[in-house]
């Protein structure tokens, strides 16, 4: 394929993905004056501060946790390292709103912890309120750090050690070697993970709703469901999209002129062996995070599940599980292939048009799910209408809906939402492949797809697997698009969670949530197995 | 096993076709509360009921996008505000039915016959019976009285149940006075508003506050799980407008392909036979006056309902939301 071919590919993918976004953005041309006036006066001032607090808190939290744990498991040696290196990914499988509910249930005034403390003290006790900015940030960080951890770990595995060696040969101490060399080299990966975490934070509704913490997203939902103005809600969502786009562009600009390349293929390296006190400190830290981010929530879910198991568990769970896995698996393949095409297009043809197309195509992840779902259903219904009209006029039959409520619709819808999740790890992986390598292989007569297969794919493996696992788990957790586009009587575990939580039966939602966590173990296990293989 | 799963998956790839003896329902009332009814109906009549569940806002947008091609015949949702919105958007059609008019009291259905309540939930006052005497309580409005300072708990204003409550108060008192009342509530809050009714009721029982407003079925569910909680029901405004009630209900979709079957199902849902099942499964009150509530629910006592037509809850909902924003009720 020539440059133009790649450009066309990128444009086509982008257009497909962008249609729902454009439908959301189109609302801007018809401002709801009255609603905006109200929002500006009474709602937005408080929200902006809240949203900024949340984003900054989550950014700092996931970076600190993700990077430190990635460094420990990728470059150091301490008791339990092998176990922790994969176990620390497990929180990915627990939806953030579930973790949120568990912690509010445990730590609020009425929860067991404070109740016990009151009994113990024989009176009122002072306890930091869990339903606060701090509480929301804490839960979000616990739920989202794996994005940074996974990508930063890839970076450190492929060159953390070499970076340290280089630094030491230049006379840096180990500590300054980490900060001066290894960390800057891992930057695109860390930022990619961070971007995913922040996009998810901005689009989140479920978690903040559990805390009744007002953000941009809660205002979007209030405008839509409370004031019956989808128009106003879409306008707010558009502002969010524009903000995220600005964030991405700023990040790209800051990377300009930097080139990240790989210092050769991955070699077996000697880990930094932590000794004595430091070794146990590392184990203790990893264990603590695993405990609060995964073990405690899952234990609580299990104890709730046990109570309702007899009443709620039936043969249909096999079907729910299968549907969840099927959707996750198929979407993972679709999203990864699409993301690969995009990264490659950008690599082959790095003009500003292609770059812009690629960037816009990944914005779906920052749009609150329910708003995006509407943006998806509108063009679909229109397409169906055309098809039905054609069938009527050509064959004289009334077909009813053709596309809607079929998997053919669900998968592209997930693509719109999760392309960023597939693209970010892949793009960071691509950054690692040197131009020299490409030129060398070109001189050997490889080009286009052959080069992709022989040169790029083997080197992109880590990014590819990460992307697939992330999309797999994310799709299984997704709710609004699944609800809106699923076929009749075709439920998934996420749909079960919705059925239980929509009227506040949280404890009964524990059963499908546990099943979802178990299902999420599968892609994580696959990821670990394959990424360990190449080590 | 895997083979059947694969086959069923392949089938789901093929679009659904229109067949005769079926009704297609879009429901915002969750599956476990409607499926038992549909199963019973199919057993009775042989008519298949296909349904999909989602949030009400999403279902309305979906109906709107699908237009004439929608497969849906009936919309079931909770809260009159949502039913009113569906009617206003032109998604439903009027139904002239003697049966429905007889089974559903006038104030619990649309004046334009586009939607009908099917079960009633009361949004009433609950109190900690170790700290509050029922004689201390009187009306919703009185919860703003200084004597409740630091003793009141509320659910978030983002939930439609509170939006409808405040909308009905606007209908009764006008916006200015209602805003005063809501402000006085906010001034009395013991803690930030709760994300759901159950958490709020638990807080009252645990002594974080003494009184609060919640839907009756949340109380029923909680007491079923933890029988010994010091929580009691109070029926406010008995000398004034009555207790604020709301419904879950249904309407026939404008472009229904099985209109006759859908109307028959709706009539059946309002009949004594189905009413108990519809209400009892969620500890709600039947909408049909000829049907008695579940004994557990009936034991909470009888009360005067606010007889203002629920369409007001929809008409004034957006205003209620803005009013609560102004009053600082989160």
Mean pLDDT to the nearest integer, B109-114: 97
DSSP states of A274-313:
--HHHHHHHHHHHHHHHIIIIIHHHHHHHHHHHHHHHHH-
Residues of chain A neighbouring B191 (CB-CB closer than 8 A):
109, 129
Residue B275 CA to residue B291 CA, distance in Å, equals 7
The two three-digit tokens of residue A102, written as one number: 């568990």
Residues of chain A neighbouring B67 (CB-CB closer than 8 A):
381, 385
Q: Number of A to B CB contacts under 8 A, please give it.
A: 171
CA dihedral A411, A412, A418, A420 (to 10 degrees): 140
If contacts are CB pairs under 8 Å, which of residues 16-55 in chain A contact chain B?
38, 42-43
SS3 at position A534: coil
- What is the least distance, in Å, from the CA of A484 to any CA of chain B? 7
What pLDDT score was predicted for residue A179?
87
Residue A263 CA to residue A320 CA, distance in Å, equals 46
Are the beta carbons of A226 and B71 separated by less than 8 Å? no
Are the beta carbons of A499 and B53 separated by less than 8 Å? yes
Closest Cα in chain A to B222: A505
**Terminal-residue alpha carbon distance, chain A:** 34
Residue A448 CA to residue B5 CA, distance in Å, equals 39
Cα distances (Å, whole numbers) of residue B96 to A207, B73, B75, B314? 44, 16, 17, 22
Q: What angle do CA B149, B152, B158 make, to 5 degrees?
A: 125
Residue corresponding to tokens 């059609």? B93
Question: pLDDT tens digits for A26-74?
Answer: 888 888 888 999 999 999 998 999 999 999 999 999 999 999 999 999 9
Question: pLDDT tens digits for B23-55?
Answer: 999 999 999 999 999 999 999 999 999 999 999
pLDDT at position B167 over 60: yes
Is the minimum CB–CB distance between B4 and chain A shorter than 8 Å? no
What pLDDT score was predicted for residue A344?
83
Question: pLDDT tens digits for B168-177?
Answer: 999 999 999 9
What pLDDT score was predicted for residue A456?
79
CB-CB contact of A213 with A136 (8 Å): yes
Backbone region of residue A125 per phi and psi (left: phi > 0; alpha: psi in -120 to 50; beta: other values): beta
Cβ neighbours, 10 Å, residue A115: 14
Residues of chain A neighbouring B16 (CB-CB closer than 8 A):
400-401, 405, 487-488
The two three-digit tokens of residue A131, written as one number: 């339903």
What pLDDT score was predicted for residue A496?
94
CB-CB contact of A488 with B51 (8 Å): yes
Cβ neighbours, 10 Å, residue A435: 10
- Identity of the residue in A115, A382, A483 whose CB atom sits nearest the CB atom of B54: A483
Q: What angle do CA A510, A515, A521 make, to 5 degrees?
A: 125
Closest Cα in chain B to A378: B65
Cβ neighbours, 10 Å, residue A299: 12
pLDDT at position B3 over 60: no
Question: pLDDT tens digits for B177-210?
Answer: 999 999 999 999 999 999 999 999 999 999 999 9
Residue corresponding to tokens 């102004």? B326
Residues of chain A neighbouring B229 (CB-CB closer than 8 A):
none
Question: In the 8-state DSSP scheme, what is residue A261?
Answer: -
Residues of chain A neighbouring B32 (CB-CB closer than 8 A):
499-500
Residue B142 CA to residue B238 CA, distance in Å, equals 13
Is the minimum CB–CB distance between B197 and chain A shorter than 8 Å? yes
Residue B35 CA to residue A135 CA, distance in Å, equals 37
Q: What percent of chain B lies above the pLDDT cut of 90?
A: 92
Residue B306 CA to residue B18 CA, distance in Å, equals 42
Residue A387 CA to residue A397 CA, distance in Å, equals 11
SS3 at position A281: helix
Are the beta carbons of A222 and B321 separated by less than 8 Å? yes
- Which residues does chain A have with pLDDT short of 70? 1-3, 160, 256-269, 398-400, 531-535
CB-CB contact of A140 with A207 (8 Å): yes
Are the beta carbons of B330 and A405 separated by less than 8 Å? no
The two three-digit tokens of residue B91, written as one number: 């998604």
Are the beta carbons of B56 and A210 separated by less than 8 Å? no
**Model-level pTM greater than 0.85?**
yes
What pLDDT score was predicted for residue A433?
79
What pLDDT score was predicted for residue A182?
86
What pLDDT score was predicted for residue A378?
87
If contacts are CB pairs under 8 Å, which of residues 396-415 in chain A contact chain B?
398-408
If contacts are CB pairs under 8 Å, which of residues 234-263 in chain B contact chain A?
257
Is the minimum CB–CB distance between B205 and chain A shorter than 8 Å? yes
Mean pLDDT to the nearest integer, B61-89: 95
What pLDDT score was predicted for residue A261?
60
The two three-digit tokens of residue A286, written as one number: 């990893």
Are the beta carbons of B191 and A224 separated by less than 8 Å? no
């Amino acid at each position: 394929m020539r440059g133009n071919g790649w450009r066309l590919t990128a444009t086509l993918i982008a257009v497909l993905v962008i249609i729902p976004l454009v439908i959301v953005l189109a609302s801007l041309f018809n401002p709801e004056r009255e609603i905006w006036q109200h929002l500006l006066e009474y709602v937005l001032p408080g929200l902006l501060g809240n949203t900024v607090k949340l984003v900054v808190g989550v950014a700092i939290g996931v970076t600190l946790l993700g990077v430190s744990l990635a460094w420990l498991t990728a470059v150091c040696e301490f008791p339990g390292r092998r176990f922790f290196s994969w176990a620390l990914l497990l929180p990915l499988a627990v939806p953030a709103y579930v973790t949120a509910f568990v912690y509010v249930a445990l730590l609020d005034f009425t929860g067991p912890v404070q109740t016990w403390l009151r009994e113990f003290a024989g009176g009122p006790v002072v306890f930091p309120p869990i339903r606060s900015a701090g509480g929301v940030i804490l839960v979000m960080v616990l739920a989202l750090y794996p994005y940074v951890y996974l990508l930063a770990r890839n970076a450190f595995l492929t060159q953390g050690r070499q970076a340290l060696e280089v630094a030491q040969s230049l006379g840096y101490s180990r500590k300054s070697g980490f900060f001066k060399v290894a960390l800057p080299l891992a930057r695109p990966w860390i930022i990619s993970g961070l971007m995913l975490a922040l996009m998810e934070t901005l689009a989140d509704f479920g978690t903040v709703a559990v805390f009744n913490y007002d953000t941009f997203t809660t205002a979007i939902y209030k405008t839509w469901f409370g004031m019956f103005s989808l128009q106003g809600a879409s306008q707010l969502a558009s502002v969010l999209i524009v903000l995220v786009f600005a964030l991405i562009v700023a990040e790209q600009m800051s990377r300009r002129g930097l080139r990240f390349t790989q210092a050769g293929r991955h070699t077996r390296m000697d880990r930094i062996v932590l000794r004595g006190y430091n070794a146990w400190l590392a184990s203790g830290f990893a264990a603590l995070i695993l405990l609060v981010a995964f073990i405690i929530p899952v234990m609580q879910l299990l104890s709730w599940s046990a109570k309702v198991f007899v009443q709620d568990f039936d043969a249909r769970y096999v079907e729910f599980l299968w549907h969840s896995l099927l959707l996750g698996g198929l979407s993972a393949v679709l999203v990864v292939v699409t993301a690969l095409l995009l990264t490659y297009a950008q690599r082959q043809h790095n003009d500003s048009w292609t770059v812009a197309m690629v960037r816009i195509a990944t914005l779906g992840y920052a749009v609150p799910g329910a708003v995006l779902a509407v943006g998806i259903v509108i063009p679909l219904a229109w397409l169906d209408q055309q098809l039905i009209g054609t069938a009527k006029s050509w064959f004289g039959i009334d077909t009813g809906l053709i596309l809607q409520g079929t998997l053919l619709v669900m998968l592209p819808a997930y693509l719109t939402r999760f392309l960023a999740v597939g693209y970010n790890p892949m793009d960071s992986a691509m950054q690692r492949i040197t131009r020299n390598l490409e030129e060398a292989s070109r001189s050997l007569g490889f080009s286009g797809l052959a080069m992709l297969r022989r040169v790029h794919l083997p080197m992109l493996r880590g990014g590819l697997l990460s992307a697939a696992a992330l999309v797999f788990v994310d799709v299984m957790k997704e709710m609004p698009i699944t609800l809106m586009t699923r076929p009749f009587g075709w439920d998934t575990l996420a749909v079960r969670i919705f059925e239980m939580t929509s009227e506040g039966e949280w404890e009964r939602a524990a059963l499908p949530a546990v099943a979802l966590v178990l299902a999420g173990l599968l892609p994580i296990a696959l990821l670990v197995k394959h990424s360990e293989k190449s080590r | 096993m895997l083979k059947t799963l694969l086959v069923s998956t392949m089938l789901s790839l093929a679009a659904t076709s229109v067949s005769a003896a079926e009704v297609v329902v879009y429901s915002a009332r969750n599956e476990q509360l409607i499926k038992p009814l549909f199963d019973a109906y199919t057993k009775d009549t042989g008519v298949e009921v296909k349904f999909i569940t989602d949030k009400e806002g999403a279902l309305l947008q979906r109906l709107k996008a699908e237009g004439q091609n929608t497969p849906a015949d009936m919309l079931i949702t909770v809260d009159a505000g949502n039913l009113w919105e569906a009617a206003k958007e032109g998604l439903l059609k009027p139904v002239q039915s003697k049966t429905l008019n007889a089974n559903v009291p006038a104030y619990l259905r649309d004046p334009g016959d586009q939607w009908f309540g099917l079960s009633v939930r009361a949004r009433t006052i609950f109190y900690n019976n170790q700290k509050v005497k029922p004689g201390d309580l009187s009306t919703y409005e009185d919860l703003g009285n200084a004597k409740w300072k630091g003793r009141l708990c509320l659910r978030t204003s983002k939930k439609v149940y509170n939006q409808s409550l405040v909308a009905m108060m606007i209908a009764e008192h006008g916006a200015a006075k209602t805003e005063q009342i809501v402000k006085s509530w906010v001034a009395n809050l013991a803690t930030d508003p709760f994300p759901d009714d159950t958490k709020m009721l638990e807080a009252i029982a645990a002594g974080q506050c003494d009184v609060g407003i919640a839907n009756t079925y949340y109380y029923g569910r909680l007491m079923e799980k933890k029988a010994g909680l010091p929580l009691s029901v109070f029926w406010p405004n008995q000398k004034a407008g009555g207790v604020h009630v709301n419904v879950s209900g249904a309407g026939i979709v404008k472009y229904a392909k099985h209109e006759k079957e859908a109307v028959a199902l709706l009539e059946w849902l309002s009949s004594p036979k189905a009413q108990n099942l519809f209400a009892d499964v969620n500890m709600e009150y039947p909408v049909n006056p000829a049907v008695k509530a579940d004994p557990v629910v009936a034991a909470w006592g009888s009360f005067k309902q606010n007889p203002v037509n629920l369409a007001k809850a929809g008409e004034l909902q957006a205003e209620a939301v803005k009013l609560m924003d102004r009053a600082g009720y989160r």
